[in-house]
């Protein structure tokens, strides 16, 4: 692929990336300047004008000056037609077509005889001019205005020509100075339709058979949806990672942030959702669900702090309700994280950095008897920039034994992690304005927690020419003690200490706010959660024919049981002095499913499935007798996907399906509000979701994989259990829709670019008097882009990453909005040989003072009204920080 193609493609991506984060505020004082500036305010015009210059430079010869002059001249004629309001249908469509056509001509290197080139340019120029002419006001001097935008257009043509020439010069310079650019363009994979055995081998596991190092580019002919994908270890190895949860940000459009201490589960955003700590996004490790049902802090709690990024072989991700083998929590999407069975190299790693951060890791694998042993041990400490340091300490370990025998393979995996931390939760913005505290201070410095997670998993697979059988069983013990104070003195504002509520320890001096806040118990609450989770998943896939068409049919079943002891307590300095509610919970689910994939033609395949999810929700030994109970519910969820193509290494996808998420067993059985003592309605056990999407995936341009997806989702009315309050809260039915554009480009073997853009719209579907219809904290725009390189100038590797989380409505009427968050980070390392490498990482390179997350609610500080103050509450992003480390391979 030529570098002129790369110029156009990545100029396009950069221009689109700038759309949501910039706004044009241009002041004009003359008709000529107004005409000159007008083309510079529309990205479509800029893009097409630059493309004309690039295409002219590609063709060379007299085309370099002929095509720009012809375009500008014909555009002037078109503008005159537009001024007189002569009706010409399809003008806007022609503008879009011009951008797409010019892009195709550039990336495929297509050129014609001069008359044909001029005809193409003239056609598009006329419509660009026509649209501009319709926008000229009656009071404007026509001659000066047209002269201005024609001159600006010629300049944009020149920019395209100049970019092409400068880029070629830069490439020549780098090659001449010895940059390791000898790698040839990657060959296009053979994207022919699979048939017979080949179709079955690749289709039965969807993505399992693909060896992936970066982001999979061989999904044409295999993937069932445009939003489906797979990420490999190299996508993680060369990117800066601040915390384990950020590995999920390899899923296009997903944000993993933090609003509390390092040991707490991340806050997730995706597809118009504030997913809280995991609701509606299913996370799995080797097929074992991480999301926790009826958790003390919130339904779907997803704590991935036990993950070790160096062990991750791949991350398979999906979005939407389109797959029969995923059920609860997967409405927005799902990710399945797989560890290596055998590491490429054993490693000893140490990293140290800002804010008393250090991390030690030892990991390796070796042959033992008929199998392989994988082992890893990790210790992490981090204080963070907080006035009251996190003092986060984590111990983490993994051991796996795996092997194969003929057509069978198996693995047994044990994991264990323990961590404890202090937390600086979100703080009110008014306290900063009053100079009461600083950005990294805490209101209640005794917030924090500790967690444990231990698991044992066994998996067995058997393959034959005609079938695949898989069985997996797991057991997990987890425990969390979490203490938080979000409203400070709003709920408990008495001036005397109740029995058992004493003063703080030596931590009190670390807080700059008046110590009077600790003369009462305050609003700190505890959320202990102690549970055993067991489960079984089995499936049998048969490869067969429907008539003459290759097909595979999978029958499976998933069983899960959660035995839970949790509570909501009143606490002071992590000492419990009261119980709001306490429950013993059993949740059991049985989920059979059936799915068929058939290749009907070389250009047509379908995936159809159906799933049943049956649940039993039992609450026993509640401290409020009326809240004990057992309820049953079940849902049938059909799924359908249709894939057309490939044509020119491009496929079109249509998907639709029904899904759901379960609600908290306590909310499902609650009849008495534990806080107020009043009667309440019980929540619906299962909340139905409906979703559909259409998309396109293309690898037409060599080295580049692009996917464009338009999606829609409806959620029915539901009641949601609020773990922080121990009560249920009404939620109206809502609708979300959006567009996603994901790109992964590898021009040469040592260099990759990725750029993902996600825009979404979320609204409640009904109207409530005196309330708006915005869904609070629903994400609207996410942009993530970066580059990675390796084996450069002898051994350099790394790359930068930019992440943008757009502003969001914080209340229903959209009167309170968060600001956007921009984070730029980078890694740079050097590999001396196969045994030693060093690397440095820098986070928040721009040292921005943005918020990691923002809320708007009521809280109370000392001396304020007993009813509290409505205010923005935020958790700041960490300031610029550095980490340096080494890796010894053995």
Residues 845-871: pLDDT tens digits?
999 999 999 999 999 988 889 899 999
Residue 54 lies in a domain: yes
The per-residue DSSP string of 15-58 comes to: HHHHTTT--------SHHHHHHHGGGG-HHHHHHHHHHHHHHHH
Per-residue pLDDT for 522 more than 80? yes
Tell whether 512 is covered by a domain.
Answer: yes
Element (H, E) at 669: helix 665-669
567, part of any domain: yes
pLDDT over 70 at 215, yes or no: no
Predicted pLDDT at 20: 36
Residue 512 has pLDDT above 60, yes or no: no
Count of other CB atoms within 10 angstroms of residue 803: 19
CB 225 within 8 A of CB 242: no
Does residue 507 or residue 784 have the better pLDDT?
784
Q: Please give the structure tokens belonging to residue 232.
A: 């490999």
**Contact in structure between 465 and 449 (CB atoms under 8 Å):** no
According to DSSP, residue 89 is labeled T
- What residues contact residue 759 under an 8 Å CB cut-off, 6+ apart? 20, 738, 739, 740, 780, 781
Phi/psi region, residue 523 (left: phi>0; alpha: psi -120 to 50; beta: rest), is alpha
The angle subtended at Cα 12 by Cα 10 and Cα 15, nearest 5°, is: 110
**Rounded CA separation 800/843 (Å):** 10
Residue 612 corresponds to which tokens in the numbers above?
Answer: 């049943």
Residue 281 domain-assigned? no
Strands (E), 225-307: 229-232, 255-257, 267-270, 273-274, 281-285, 288-289
Q: What is the 3-state secondary structure (H, E, C) of 214-230?
A: CECCCCCCCCCCCCCEE
What residues form DSSP beta bridges with 799?
827
| The pair of three-digit structure tokens given for residue 406, joined into one six-digit string | 């003929």
**How far apart are the two ends of the chain, measured CA to CA in Å?**
38
* Cα dihedral: 485, 488, 492, 496 (round 10): 110
Alpha carbons 317 and 655: distance in angstroms, whole number:
16
- Percentage of residues in the chain with pLDDT exceeding 90? 59
- Residue 171, SS3 per DSSP: helix
Q: Is residue 243 part of a domain?
A: no
Count of beta carbons in the 10 Å neighbourhood of residue 314: 22
- Here the tokens at position 3 are 């570098």
CB distance 38 to 135 below 8 Å: yes
Measured in whole angstroms, the distance separating CA 128 from the mean position of its chain's CA atoms is 37
- 718 pLDDT more than 60: no
Q: What does the alpha-carbon distance between residue 649 and residue 696 come to, in Å, rounded to a whole number? A: 11
445 contact partners, CB below 8 Å, separation of at least 6 = 387, 388, 422, 424, 504, 507, 508, 510, 511
Q: Is residue 210 part of a domain?
A: no
Q: Say whether 566 sits in a helix, a strand or coil.
A: strand
* Residue 638: partners with Cβ closer than 8 Å, 6 or more residues away: 608, 609, 610, 657, 658
d(Cα 600, Cα 549) in Å, to the nearest integer?
6
Bond from prior residue into 646 cis (ω within 30 degrees of 0): yes
Contacts 24+ apart (CB under 8 A), 625-630: 626/671, 626/672, 627/581, 627/583, 627/666, 627/669, 627/670, 627/671, 627/672, 627/674, 628/669, 629/669, 629/671, 630/669
Q: Which of 176, 210, 232 is the last residue of a domain?
A: 176
d(CA 101, CA 85): 27
Instruction: Read off the pLDDT of residues 532-572 as tens digits, 9 standing for 90 and up.
Output: 999 999 999 999 999 999 999 999 999 999 999 999 999 88
Helix (H, G, I), strand (E, B) or coil at 295: coil
CB neighbour class for 18 (10 Å; exposed up to 12, middle 13-18, buried from 19) = exposed
CA distance 129 to 125: 6
User: Rounded to an integer, what is the distance from CA 704 to the centroid of its chain?
Assistant: 21
Q: CA–CA separation, 273 vs 290, rounded Å?
A: 19
DSSP 720-745: EEETTTTEEEEE--EEEEEEEEEEEE
Closest CA to 483 of 257, 224, 297: 297
Strands 734-748, 751-764: pairing is: antiparallel
184 within a domain of the structure (yes/no): no
State the pLDDT at residue 734: 92
Looking at residue 497, what is its pLDDT?
55
- Look-up of token digits 């055995």: 197
Look up tokens 């009261």; give the residue.
578
Distance CA 46, CA 152 (A): 10
Q: Helix (H) and strand (E) counts for the chain?
A: 11, 35
Task: Give the per-residue pLDDT at 848.
Answer: 94
Phi, psi of 475 (to 5 degrees): -140, 135
Nearest to 340 by CA among 308, 377, 311: 311
pLDDT digits (tens, 9 = 90+) for 654-678: 999 999 999 999 999 999 988 888 8
Q: Which token pair is 619?
A: 């609450």
Cα angle 157-161-167, degrees, rounded to a multiple of 5:
140
- Decide which of 130, 157, 176 is a domain's last residue: 176
Pairwise CA distance, residues 148 & 140, whole Å? 12
Here the CATH number for the domain that contains residue 423 is 2.40.170.20
- Residue 144: what pLDDT? 73
Counting every residue written for the chain, the total comes to 890
Supply 478's token pair: 């987890």
**Is the predicted pLDDT of residue 199 greater than 80, yes or no?**
no
Nearest-angstrom CA–CA distance, 204 and 540:
10
- State how far the Cα of 705 lies from the Cα of 231, in Å rounded to an integer: 13
> What pLDDT sits at residue 412?
97
**Minimal CA–CA distance to 730: which of 766, 694, 779?**
766
Is residue 77 included in any domain, yes or no? yes
For residue 435, the SS3 value is: coil
The whole-number pLDDT of residue 54 equals: 86
Of 593, 608, 637, whose CA–CA distance to 546 is shortest? 608
Q: What's the domain count of the chain?
A: 2
Residues paired with 542 in a beta bridge: 467, 553
* Nearest Cα residue to 211 out of 194, 189, 226: 189
- Whether this prediction's pTM lies above 0.85 is answered by no
Rounded to an integer, the average pLDDT of 282-295 is: 95
| pLDDT exceeds cutoff 70 at 326 | yes
Note whether 489 and 520 are within 8 A (CB): yes
pLDDT value at residue 473: 98
> Is the distance from CB of 468 to CB of 205 less than 8 angstroms?
yes
Q: What is the CA radius of gyration of the chain?
A: 29
pLDDT value of residue 33: 66
Is residue 677 a contact partner of residue 166, using CB atoms and an 8 Å limit? no
Residue-wise pLDDT tens digits, 91-147 = 777 787 888 788 778 877 787 888 888 888 888 888 888 887 777 766 666 677 777
Query: What pLDDT score does 492 carry?
Result: 77
Written as six digits, the tokens of 617 are: 């929700």
**Stretch 429-433: mean pLDDT, rounded?**
89
Strand ranges of the sheet holding 273-274, from the earlier edge strand across to the other edge: 255-257, 267-270, 273-274
Look up the domain containing 798 and give its range. Answer: 338-889
Report how far residue 99's alpha carbon sits from residue 144's, in angstroms, rounded to the nearest whole number. 27
Query: Pairing state of beta strands 312-318 and 357-368?
Result: unpaired
pLDDT digits (tens, 9 = 90+) for 62-98: 778 788 888 888 888 888 888 777 777 777 777 878 8
Look at 269-283, 498-512, 565-579, 841-855 and tell me which has the smallest mean pLDDT: 498-512
Beta bridge pairs of residue 464 = none
Residue the block writes with tokens 């939003």: 227
Per-residue pLDDT tens digits for 369-400: 889 999 999 999 999 999 989 999 999 999 99
Share of the chain above pLDDT 70, in %: 84
Instruction: Give the residue from 157, 176, 195 where a domain finishes.
Output: 176
Average confidence (pLDDT) over 620-649: 94
Q: In whole angstroms, give the CA distance from residue 808 to residue 761.
A: 10
CA distances to 324, 567, 699 from 607, in Å: 10, 43, 22
In this prediction, residue 351 carries a pLDDT of: 96
52 — pLDDT class (breaks 50, 70, 90): confident
What confidence score (pLDDT) does residue 581 get?
Answer: 93
**If we measure between CA atoms, which residue out of 228, 325, 336, 284 comes closest to residue 711?**
228
């Amino acid at each position: 692929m030529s570098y002129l193609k790369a110029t156009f493609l990545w100029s396009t991506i950069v221009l689109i990336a700038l759309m949501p984060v910039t706004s044009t505020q241009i002041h004009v004082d003359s008709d000529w300047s107004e005409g000159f500036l007008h083309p510079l305010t529309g990205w479509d015009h800029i893009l097409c004008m630059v493309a004309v210059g690039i295409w002219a430079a590609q063709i060379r010869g007299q085309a370099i000056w002929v095509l720009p002059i012809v375009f500008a001249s014909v555009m002037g004629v078109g503008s005159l037609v537009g001024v007189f309001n002569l009706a010409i249908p399809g003008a806007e469509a022609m503008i879009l077509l011009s951008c797409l056509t010019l892009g195709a001509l550039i990336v495929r290197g297509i050129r014609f005889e001069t008359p044909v080139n001029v005809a193409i340019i003239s056609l598009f120029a006329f419509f660009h001019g026509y649209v501009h002419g319709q926008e000229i006001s009656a009071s404007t001097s026509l001659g000066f205005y047209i002269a201005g935008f024609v001159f600006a257009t010629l300049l944009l043509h020149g920019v395209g020509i100049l970019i092409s020439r400068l880029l070629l010069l830069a490439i020549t310079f780098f090659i001449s100075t010895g940059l390791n650019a000898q790698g040839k363009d990657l060959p296009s994979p053979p994207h022919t339709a699979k048939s017979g055995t080949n179709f079955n081998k690749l289709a039965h596991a969807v993505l399992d058979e693909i060896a992936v190092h970066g982001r999979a580019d061989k999904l044409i002919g295999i993937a069932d949806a445009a939003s489906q994908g797979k990420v490999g270890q190299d996508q993680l190895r060369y990117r800066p990672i601040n915390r384990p949860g950020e590995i999920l940000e390899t899923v296009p459009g997903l944000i993993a942030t933090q609003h509390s201490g390092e040991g707490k589960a991340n806050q997730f955003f995706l597809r118009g959702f504030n997913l809280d700590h995991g609701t509606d996004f299913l996370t799995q490790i080797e097929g074992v669900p991480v999301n926790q049902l009826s958790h003390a802090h919130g339904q779907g709690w997803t704590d991935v702090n036990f993950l070790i990024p160096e062990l991750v072989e791949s991350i398979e991700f999906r979005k939407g309700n389109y797959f029969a083998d995923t059920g609860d929590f997967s409405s927005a999407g799902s990710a399945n994280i797989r560890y290596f069975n055998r590491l490429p190299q054993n490693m000893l790693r140490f990293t140290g950095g800002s804010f008393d951060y250090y991390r030690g890791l030892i990991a390796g694998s070796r042959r033992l008897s008929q199998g392989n042993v994988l082992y890893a041990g990790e210790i992490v400490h981090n204080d963070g920039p907080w006035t009251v340091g996190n003092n986060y300490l984590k111990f983490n370990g993994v051991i796996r034994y795996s092997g194969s025998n003929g057509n069978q393979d198996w693995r047994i995996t044990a994991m264990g992690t323990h961590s404890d931390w202090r937390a600086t939760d979100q703080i009110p913005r008014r306290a900063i304005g009053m100079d009461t505290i600083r950005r990294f201070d805490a209101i209640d410095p005794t917030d924090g927690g500790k967690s444990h997670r231990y698991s044992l998993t066994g998996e067995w697979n058997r393959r034959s020419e005609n079938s695949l059988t898989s069985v997996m069983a797991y057991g997990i013990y987890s425990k969390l003690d979490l203490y938080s104070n979000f409203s400070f003195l709003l709920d408990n504002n008495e001036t005397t200490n109740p029995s058992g509520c004493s003063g703080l320890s030596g931590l009190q001096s670390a807080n700059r706010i008046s110590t009077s806040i600790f003369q009462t118990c305050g609003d700190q609450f505890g959320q202990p959660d102690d549970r055993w989770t067991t489960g079984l998943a089995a499936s049998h896939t048969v490869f067969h024919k429907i008539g003459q068409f290759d097909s595979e049919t999978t029958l499976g079943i998933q069983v899960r049981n959660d035995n839970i002891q949790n509570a909501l307590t009143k606490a002071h300095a992590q000492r419990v002095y009261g119980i709001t509610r306490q429950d013993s919970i059993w949740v059991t689910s049985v989920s059979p499913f059936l799915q068929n994939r058939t290749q009907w033609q070389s250009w047509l395949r379908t995936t159809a499935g159906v799933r049943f999810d049956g649940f039993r929700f039992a609450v026993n030994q509640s401290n409020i007798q009326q809240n004990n109970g057992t309820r049953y519910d079940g849902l049938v969820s059909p799924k359908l996907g249709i894939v057309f193509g490939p044509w020119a290494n491009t496929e079109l996808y249509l998907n639709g399906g029904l899904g759901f998420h379960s609600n908290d067993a306590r909310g499902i059985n609650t009849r008495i509000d534990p806080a107020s003592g009043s009667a309440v309605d019980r929540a619906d056990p299962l909340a139905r979701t409906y979703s559909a999407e259409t998309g396109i995936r293309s690898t037409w341009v060599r080295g580049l994989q692009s996917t464009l997806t338009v999606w829609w989702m409806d959620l029915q009315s539901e009641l949601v259990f609020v773990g922080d309050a121990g009560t249920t809260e009404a939620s109206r039915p809502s609708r979300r829709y959006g567009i996603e554009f994901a790109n992964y480009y590898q021009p040469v073997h040592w260099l990759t670019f990725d750029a993902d853009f996600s825009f979404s719209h979320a609204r409640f579907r009904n109207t409530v008097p005196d309330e708006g219809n915005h869904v609070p904290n629903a994400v609207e725009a996410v942009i993530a882009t970066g580059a990675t390189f390796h084996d450069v100038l002898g051994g350099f590797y790394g790359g930068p990453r930019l992440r943008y989380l757009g502003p969001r409505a914080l209340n229903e009427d959209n009167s309170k909005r968060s600001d956007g968050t921009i984070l730029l980070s980078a890694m740079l390392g050097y590999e001396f040989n196969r045994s030693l490498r060093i690397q440095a990482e820098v986070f928040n390179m721009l040292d921005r003072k943005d918020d990691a997350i923002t809320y708007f609610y009521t809280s109370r500080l000392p001396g304020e009204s007993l009813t509290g103050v409505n205010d923005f509450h935020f958790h700041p992003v960490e300031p610029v920080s550095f980490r340096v480390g080494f890796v010894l391979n053995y």
